[in-house]
Structure 1
Amino acid sequence: MFAALVTLASVAISLALTLIAVFSLYLNTYAWWSPDTRRRTRYGTAAHRSHLTFSLIVPCRHESEEVMEATIRALLAQSHGAPQIIISVGHDDPDTTGAARRIAARYPHHAQVSVDRHSTKSKPVQLNTSLELCTGDVVGIFDAESIAAPHLLRHIDTTFAITGADAVQGAVQLVNYQDSWYALRDCFEYFTWFRSRLHNQARRGFIPLGGTTVFVRRELLTQLGGWDPDCLAEDCDLGVRLSTLGHKVVVAYAPELVTREETPDSIPGLVRQRTRWALGFMQVYAKGDGRVIPTRRARLLARWTGQVPGSGVALGPSMCGVRR
């Protein structure tokens, strides 16, 4: 009897893993199905005159001045024109705050510092504090270690104009694929996520936005109350709320317009990052917003996105341990 139960459980697990693998393959290859699909997943030609202004928030915590300034310089070098840049820090992080003030002093006409003084610290709390200072038509978010492509904002402006989007998600690409076996795997996952999977989800009407290179019309973001201060995946949560309310979210990709970042430099760092993401996705799903998305396919996709990442919480550390 026990042997039969073990066999049945093994078959069930195998079928479940096969289903996950097949559906993941479907999502990962969506962008290459046809010439029309490849065309629809790219940016439009940036031919019209720029008409939107941008406020870019750079949330920083325990970051080096060198890393932060490299990010700020890339944002100031945009061919669209220099945006308003808000360096977001917490009052309990004096080293980063000091670095932010020195950087802002070097670029006084374009950069300013937002200091969050709430007792409870989190990225969404910092973002909401910074949102109060934004004056641009569109609010964009860039991680402290992000290097934006020089023509990115010009193409984002065009995308808003030709699609009538309420939010636009740009692409991120990890670049340190030669550092380790898990860095290579991480880089490939980012590539398929931003090059293919998100475009499929946009077509279905359910977009879990990323935490960087994401742009939202400021008036709409303010009406929504900004980011959920208690959410571990505030970026995903914002995308779910936009999807639920029927707002148009566009995802665009071009290899020359990706924002460059690096994967965590250690297995423990990678595990902490992925655990937070998985728990955050499950937290967003538990809130129930995804269950009221208008279409059945989008609701099923929301359930998949919210629940399947949780399987990696337990498997991830053990898999890393096996391969070390």
Structure 2
Amino acid sequence: MVAVDSSHATIRPIFSAPELRPAQPFLEEASENGLAATDLLTDFPAIHRVLDELGVSNPDRAVLAAEAFFQGTTFQTELLASGKVAETAYFAAMARGVGLDYIAVIEPEHLLIDDEACLEQLDANHRVMFAEIRDGWCRLAKVVAPHEGGWKALAHSLRSRPEMRAGVKVTAPSVLRSALLARSRQILTRRARDHLADTRSDCSARDIIWPWQAFSLGVLSGFLPVALITIPLLILTAMHLLLVSFFIACSALRAIAAAALPKARRVKISLPMSSELPVYTVLVALYDEAEVVPQLLVALGRLQWPRSKLEIKLVCEQDDASTIAAIAAHNLRPYVELILVPPSLPRTKPKALAYALPLTRGELVVLYDAEDRPDPMQLAEAWQRFHRSGNDLACLQAPLEIANRRTSLIANMFGFEYAALFRGLLPWLANNRILLPLGGTSNHFRRDVLEATGGWDPFNVTEDADIGLRLARSGYRCETLTLPTREDAPETMREWHNQRVRWLKGWMVTWLVHMRHPRALARQLGPVSFIVTQILFVGMVFSSLMHLVLAMTLIALSVQIALDQPWGIWQTRLVALDIASVILGYFCFLFLGWLVLEPKERRGFWKLCLFTPVYWTMLSFAAWRAVIELVRRPHHWAKTPHRKARSA
């Protein structure tokens, strides 16, 4: 458990107080001290006429110049991020300032550029964006969206070569970016779908089962019926013991985590305004989420990070008209961009994320869900941890807290389950440097590591667990944060069931994918993480399947007792083992959760105790349906509906 010292969770001032001083003295002083961030203001006189035209006051110019210096950015970057002027208005005015035509719209079919060059321009990362276009008269022209230093270079070139004015035009980065995006849809879709399968086919879920696995399953399916006919008692006992052993292993893992629960600790979080801070990318995949768009924008707007170094990408399916309309109804800040993913199979969240990743520039990337309300200082804590750790730390998982626990018994149990996982089991795994299965949201990644390991698998419906395992196989660590993300749990049986079926199916897919080469997996993970992998992925599924089998066994034995038929010695021992393993499982599940709960959260704990057998039976039904879906539609993504947050 972790306690956060909120007195330290503040942002340091950007600078002492130059914002009230006239601009010119500050700029002269800055120039004397070599502040490169003010080059546009000091070396490009036309900028002042442009800023006068746009209504940017002298004090505002001084503030923006100071922010650019302290952030290690540029005046232009800070000006556009501040929202004081519209990007299109600024670039149109700057075009007039250098004596060039401004283009407000670029037709994608007029771009004379190949696919690779398109992707390079989309990843320009504050370099000059440019392309060749064909205008309406079939003439060629170069269109450019300069960064800050580009304006001075452009003006100098025009003075020495005035004839350039006829062949060079200026546009806003967003205008050129929109045309490049439209031109790149096919290659981005193809890369999102096929990149991992083409580069790391052994880690892709495009083909769930490899030949040797299919052969083994075929042999097993042929052997079992024969064995059940010839030696039924031995086979049934062996299968029963196998299921029970995984059940006990899951209980033992929870018991060990409970016994070694990390002590509460205080963290000091600060966010220095300096050039050390990297660009942070926030990715949010949305589908059929119109209802929660307003609260999502509010939650993201509370994130504490310099706006000139923050980019928020709202990733939507192109045919999701209601969500797109809900986003369009809001005046998005300059650092928020809507990315539309063309419809294509598979229709999954990781495919959408894989499509959007090449369009981002952050050194750090965090993933949120549409209903998430992350702690405002979570990015600061993640950066602080990355900054102080070695490069082998690839991902940080923020704890997820359920905000609507009191709305239904299912939501309450879901919240209890999450508390045990994110406050107990995952911190214990992280502290012992054991494989960490990530949650589906609030994952903070080092961008270079995420790309080097293949990114998200578009064919895996639990991309979080898969990428956590892939990072561990590549020698990277995952750890946990302290500041949480609040979200809502499913409140109805149907919503909960569909979500849990997808999770269980995804864990089976993930296990099958990474067990294609068991020896390599054991070597890459090490013995402890390999064993924990089997417990987490196989054990959780088998224990869920076993619960329903156990219930049916007890019913059969009850009928046998009612018919006054004698028990065999093996039946007595199996029943005793089953009862002991279930009691142990219930106890470890409840005890770990009880330990991590705050005193006020333990109210009504007895209800959870009584509901646990029912909940585990629900899990078992979901597990059996997941097995069926694994065969029938392994890549199907069952969408969990989300509602506006409400107090509970």
Q: Structure 2-normalised TM-score?
A: 0.44
Amino acid at match of 1:297: V
Is residue 409 of structure 2 the alignment partner of residue 184 of structure 1? no
The 3 A distance-change label for structure 1 pair 150 and 28 is same
* Separation (CA, whole Å) in 2 of partners of 1:93 and 1:281: 28
CA distance in 2, matches of 1:15, 1:284: 21
SS of the residue corresponding to residue 132 of structure 1 reads helix
- Partner SS for 2:510: helix
Conserved? CA contact 1:68–1:144, under 8 Å: yes
Q: Is the deviation greater in 204-213 or in 137-146? A: 204-213
Distance 1:282 1:75 in 2: 33
Q: Distance in 2 between matches of 1:12 and 1:224?
A: 34
1:3-14 residue pairs with structure 2 within 5 A? none
1:304 aligns to what? 535
Q: Which segments of 5 or more consecutive residues in structure 2 lack a partner in the other structure?
A: 1-230, 516-520, 549-613, 621-648
RMSD over aligned CA atoms reads 2.8
Superposed CA offset, 1:61-115 (max 9, x none): 11124x1221222122122334211101111211112223334xx1231211111
1:109 aligned residue (330, 334, 345): 334
Distance 1:224 1:264 in 2: 32
Label 1:191 to 1:58 Cα distance change in 2 as closer, same or farther (>3 A): same
Q: 2:319 aligns with which of 89, 92, 100?
A: 92
Confirm whether residue 60 of structure 1 aligns to residue 286 of structure 2.
yes
Which residue of 2 is the match for residue 248 of structure 1?
477
- Return the alpha-carbon distance in structure 1 between the equivalents of residues 235 and 404 of structure 2: 45
The 1-side partners of 2:234 and 2:513 are apart by 38
Instruction: Give 3-state SS (helix, strand or coil) of 1:306's partner.
Output: helix
Residue 247 to residue 276, structure 1, CA distance change in 2 (3 Å) = same
1:283-302 to structure 2, matched below 5 A, reads 283-288=509-514, 290-302=521-533
Counterparts of 1:154-193 in structure 2, within 5 Å, are 154-164=380-390, 165-193=393-421
CA distance 1:231–1:11, shift in 2 (3 Å)? closer
Q: Which residue of structure 2 aligns with residue 274 of structure 1?
A: 500
CA distance in 1, matches of 2:539, 2:281: 34
Where does residue 45 of structure 1 map in the other structure? 268
State how far apart, in whole Å, the 2-side matches of 1:286 and 1:2 are.
28
Cα distance in 1 for residues equivalent to 2:457 and 2:241: 41
CA contact (8 A) 1:275 1:313 kept: no
CA distance in 2, matches of 1:11, 1:243: 30
- Take 2:353 and 2:233, find their aligned partners in 1: how far apart are those partners? 54
Distance 1:7 1:217 in 2: 48
TM-score, scaled relative to structure 1: 0.85
- Indicate the residue corresponding to 1:148 in structure 2: 374
CA distance in 2, matches of 1:242, 1:161: 19
**Alignment correspondent of 1:75:** 300
Per the TM alignment, residue 228 of structure 1 is displaced from its structure 2 partner at its CA by 0.5
- What does 1:25-36 correspond to in 2, within 5 Å? 25-28=255-258, 30-32=260-262, 35=263
Residues 1:221 and 2:450 aligned together: yes
Secondary structure, counterpart of 1:210 in structure 2:
coil
Amino acid at match of 1:115: L
Aligned CA distance change for structure 1 residues 277 and 313 (closer, same or farther; 3 Å): farther
1:197 corresponds to: 425
CA contact (8 A) 2:288 2:320 kept: yes
Give distance in 2, aligned partners of 1:223 and 1:55.
17
Which secondary structure state, in structure 2, belongs to the residue aligned with residue 109 of structure 1? coil
Q: Secondary structure at the match of 2:315?
A: strand
- Contact 1:114–1:129, Cα closer than 8 Å, also in 2: no
Can you give the 5+ residue segments of structure 1 that lack an aligned partner in the other structure? none
In structure 1, the partner of 2:361 is 135
Q: Which amino acid aligns with 1:212?
A: T
Name the structure, 1 or 2, with higher relative contact order (CA <8 Å, separation 6+): 1
Name the CA distance, whole Å, in 2 between partners of 1:288 and 1:321. 24
Q: Over alpha carbons, which structure has the higher Rg? A: 2
- In the TM superposition, what is the alpha-carbon distance from 1:227 to its structure 2 partner? 0.5
- Indicate conservation of the 8 Å contact 1:28/1:192, yes or no: no
Equivalence map 1:16-27=2 (5 Å): 17-27=247-257
Q: 1:101 to 1:309 in 2, by over 3 A?
A: farther
Change beyond 3 A, Cα 1:204–1:248: closer
| Conservation of the 8 A alpha-carbon contact between 1:291 and 1:302 | no
Q: CA deviation at 1:318?
A: 8.0
In structure 2, relative to structure 1, the CA distance for the partners of 1:321 and 1:168 (3 Å cut) is closer
- Percent of pairs identical after alignment? 24
Structure 1 residues 17 and 88, CA gap change in structure 2 (3 angstroms): same
Q: Note if contact 2:250-2:536 (Cα within 8 Å) is conserved in structure 1.
A: no
Provide the C-alpha distance between the structure 2 equivalents of 1:132 and 1:90, rounded to a whole number of angstroms.
17
The whole-number CA distance in structure 2 between the counterparts of 1:96 and 1:179 is 26
Q: Distance in 1 between matches of 2:455 and 2:619?
A: 39
Question: After alignment, is 162-171 or 310-319 more displaced?
Answer: 310-319
Letter in 2 for 1:245: S
For 1:49, the aligned partner's letter is P
Bigger Cα displacement from structure 2, 311-320 vs 174-183: 311-320
1:206 counterpart = 2:435: yes
SS in 1 for 2:405: coil
Between the two proteins, the alignment pairs up a number of residues equal to 309
CA–CA separation in structure 2 for the residues paired with 1:245 and 1:251: 19
Aligned partner letter, 2:440: G
Q: For residue 134 of structure 1, report the CA deviation from its aligned partner.
A: 1.1
